[in-house]
Amino acid sequence: MVVTSAPGKLILMGEHAVVFGKPAIAMAVDLRLRCSVERAGRYTVNGHPLDRRYHSYIVSAIDQFWKGGGLDIRTIGDLPSGSGLGSSAALTVAFVRAIEELDGKYDEESVARRAFLVELHVQGRASPIDTSASTHGHGILISGEGNDPLWTIELGDRRWDVHHLDVPQMSMVIGYTGIHAPTGPLVAKVKRYYDRTNFAKETIEEIADLTEEGQTRLKTGDVVGLGELMTRNHKLLSILGVSCPELNRLVRASLPYSYGAKLTGSGGGGSMVALTDEPERVCEAIRRHGGTPFLVRTGVEGVRLEK
Ligand code: MEV
């Protein structure tokens, strides 16, 4: 039996724009998904027969990357599905890591590439940010600048250079709305808007500019500047139509005690993140406004073999 685990992530800046090949910053968080895999006579997931509808990520990974026959797969974790915290990426990465182990040929870059292909297949459109952050851990910077990327992924006219990012000590609170919001439809919605209007194209460019500035603020440890950029990023995401009243409420509730706050991940529900040095007060404000707070540790290890 092989047991692996992979972390969820938060996107500090640049979600959605990254799907168009723009820069983004993500961090692995200490909410992990554990996956155990054992050879078996047939395919089961948590005791149920493998089902294309309910286990789409696992089915896609098996179709593309596993020739070895039946598997007994078990998953357990701290990451609510559709929470914007990278639960599907963590599941995919942990499973792909496990089958590479069974095949006797594990390689970090290969896990990141394969997991991206699985997300792309299931969601229809995706960037490699979630799967790269869950594979590599720590921080991830997607940018066209800087040399020596961990890996480069190209798709049509889009190119993502994935870089390691050292994550400075920062206190971050996540607020989960409790609303399950799958990524695929939100990514498709932004694409339709982008194809139809110049306004959406300009908004994506503005997010890209903010994210580049955010990279500089992060490097210099300017939390005040970074927080402001995050809040502006949230407004631009709202303009793109991926926020919702519950996310806006949690962002507003956090701001009096934060440097900045924004939705994180694909939006439409899911979660927001606040950069703060008053985490307890932010947690309390989120709770008061109907959300579930998580005080997370960032910059944690990526996918790993547990057993
Ligand atoms: C989802 O966590 C991030 C998005 O940018 C989608 C993607 O990059 O694949 C919304």
Atom of ligand 1 nearest to the CA of 264: 2
pLDDT in tens, 160-174: 999 999 888 888 999
Catalytic residue among 130, 161, 209, 222: 130
Of 265, 205, 301, which is closest to residue 11 (Cα–Cα)? Answer: 265
β strands within 24-166, DSSP E: 24-39, 44-45, 48-49, 71-77, 139-142, 151-155, 158-165
204/147: higher pLDDT = 204
Whether residue 303 lies inside any domain: the answer is no
Cβ of 141 closer than 6 Å to ligand 1, yes or no, is: no
For residue 78, what pLDDT is reported? 85
Q: What was the pLDDT predicted at 41?
A: 97
Residue 161 annotated to the active site: no
Task: State which residues form the domain around 42.
Answer: 2-167
pTM of the complete model = 0.96
Q: Is the CB of 253 under 6 A from ligand 1?
A: no
Q: Are 67 and 43 within one domain?
A: yes
The per-residue pLDDT for range 245-254, each reduced to its tens digit, is 999 999 999 9
Q: Is the Cβ–Cβ distance between 75 and 88 less than 8 Å?
A: no
Q: Are residues 163 and 182 in the same domain?
A: no
Same structural domain, 204 and 109: no
The Cα 191–Cα 153 span in angstroms is 20
Question: Has residue 305 been placed in a domain?
Answer: no
Mean pLDDT, the chain, whole residue set? 96
The pLDDT value given to residue 251: 98
* 226 and 134 both lie in a single domain: no
- Same domain, yes or no: 237 and 159: no
Asked if residue 33 has pLDDT above 90, the reply is yes
Q: Does pLDDT of 217 surpass 70?
A: yes
Average pLDDT over residues 207-227: 95
Residue 18 CB less than 6 A away from ligand 1: yes
| 236-288 tens-digit pLDDT | 999 999 999 999 999 999 999 999 999 999 999 999 999 999 999 999 999 99
Same domain, 30 and 179: no
In this predicted structure, the answer to whether residue 145 has a pLDDT above a threshold of 70 is: no
Mean pLDDT of 62-77: 97
- Domain count of the fold of the chain: 2
